[in-house]
Structure 1
Amino acid sequence: MTERATPIGAASAPEPFESLLRTVAEMNTPAGFKAELIRGKIVVSPFSKLRCLRRMRALREQLQAHAPEGHIAETAPFLFRFSAAERAYGPDLFVADEAAFEEDGRHADGAALSLVAEFASVSTKDADWNEKLDVYGSLVPVYLVVDMQDSEITCFSDPSSHGYRTRRTVSFGETLAVPAPFDFTLDLSVF
């Protein structure tokens, strides 16, 4: 007898984006984990490792000092929705218009973001460098990928409908120009 896959039932249609957002909001993720909508699926991944804390704090403090008027730099676990792409991400660090947090609900509009920073790990590297790069690249002015394995940080800027137009990578310990709307030089000596 030849072995073959046996369908259990009719293939179900993918859940609508808003339904998935509600599911994520209702999830009781384990301590130390976050849920995001990546490639149309709910993905649960761990928060950044302990060794990222000092670097996250240094980055947040420098960004807050140069953030656009009315924007806050934060590492709190909030989900930002990108409805056109049917995605929702919880960045490791973000700078966003503070007014976006005056609404009821659990998901802020991705259009409120002026900067996102992801601390890439083994479990998130693919999404950070591909999936999120594509979605952020059409809307968010600045995207920083902090690669803890390669000890470097990459700055993407100048978003367009085809993704970011500018990319610059430097090693930890160097300086990195963060473009508008920040316009300052990031000191990576603490990295």
Structure 2
Amino acid sequence: MIERDTTMETPSPPAFEHLLRTVEEMHTPDGFKAELIRGKIVVSPWSKLRYYRPMRVLREQLGAHAPDGHVADIAPFLFRFPAAARAYGPDLFVADESAFEEDGRHADAAALSLVAEFTSVSTRDADWAEKLEVYGRLVPVYLVVDMQESEITCFSDPSPHGYRSRQTVPFGKPLTVAEPFGFEFDTAGFQSAS
């Protein structure tokens, strides 16, 4: 038999809008969410129960310092990033409330003023790499609450090349949350969750 190169036809990847519709029509099991990560539909579990307290503490403090017209929540919404062909359901977000007046099921990521991801063993890589890259081009503030390392990092000042500013503190130390929030976040409530 003679060896030779063979060209195989491979199907083109599904279009972003088609993938969004597929996610919308999916019946994910209770306790799971579907996101578009690296051009694929990824199903992952919602956060563990012990994450609730730090999420609540963060949401309450962010809500008190949110820009006018913005709300802080942990609701299971997907935010679409069409330029990156991605759609994420952040663990916690602060967004312009007008983004939720649309009829669709996926909010425009341009409405976000902040996202926060609480790392888990299954989501840690995406939170620190994939999402950092995408959020870093558009979202003013990105908080990575690293539950495995017991520390929180604030990324801010987005640019076409990613965030230009970063600050990390261990749980228990205050963290400066950048503009448009501009306040010292008290992380003391995180210590019992780590």
C-alpha displacement of 1:101:
0.1
C-alpha displacement of 1:29:
0.3
* Letter matched to residue 75 of structure 1: I
Q: Indicate yes or no: 2:181 matched with 1:182.
A: yes
Identity of aligned residues (%): 74
Distance (Å, rounded) in 2 between the aligned partners of 1:111 and 1:81: 9
C-alpha displacement of 1:11:
1.7
C-alpha displacement of 1:39:
0.3
Q: Secondary structure at the match of 1:128?
A: helix
* Letter matched to residue 112 of structure 1: A
User: Which position in structure 2 is the counterpart of 1:84?
Assistant: 83
Mapping for residues 52-131 of structure 1, pairs under 5 Å: 52-131=51-130
Q: Secondary structure at the match of 2:189?
A: coil
Q: Indicate yes or no: 2:136 matched with 1:137.
A: yes
User: Which position in structure 2 is the counterpart of 1:47?
Assistant: 46
User: Which position in structure 2 is the counterpart of 1:151?
Assistant: 150
Q: TM-score, normalised by structure 2?
A: 0.93
User: Which position in structure 1 is the counterpart of 2:27?
Assistant: 28
* Letter matched to residue 89 of structure 1: Y
C-alpha displacement of 1:10:
3.7
Structure 2 residues without counterparts, runs of 5 or longer: 1-5
User: Which position in structure 1 is the counterpart of 2:166?
Assistant: 167
Aligned residues: 185
Distance (Å, rounded) in 2 between the aligned partners of 1:157 and 1:45: 26
Q: Secondary structure at the match of 1:22?
A: helix
* Letter matched to residue 68 of structure 2: E
Structure 1 residues without counterparts, runs of 5 or longer: 1-6
Distance (Å, rounded) in 2 between the aligned partners of 1:131 and 1:179: 22
User: Which position in structure 1 is the counterpart of 2:3?
Assistant: none
Q: Secondary structure at the match of 2:129?
A: helix
Deviations 1:104-124 (A, max 9, x none): 010000000000000011100
Q: CA RMSD in A?
A: 1.3
Distance (Å, rounded) in 2 between the aligned partners of 1:145 and 1:96: 17
Q: TM-score, normalised by structure 1?
A: 0.95
* Letter matched to residue 184 of structure 1: F
Distance (Å, rounded) in 1 between the aligned partners of 2:169 and 2:138: 23
C-alpha displacement of 1:171:
0.3
Distance (Å, rounded) in 1 between the aligned partners of 2:56 and 2:40: 30
Q: Secondary structure at the match of 1:21?
A: helix
Distance (Å, rounded) in 1 between the aligned partners of 2:73 and 2:189: 19
Q: Which runs of 4+ in 1 moved over 3 A?
A: none
Deviations 1:40-89 (A, max 9, x none): 00000000111100000000000000000000000000000000000000
User: Which position in structure 2 is the counterpart of 1:4?
Assistant: none
Task: Out of 69-78 and 9-18, give the one that drifted further.
Answer: 9-18
C-alpha displacement of 1:30:
0.3
User: Which position in structure 2 is the counterpart of 1:3?
Assistant: none
* Letter matched to residue 63 of structure 1: L
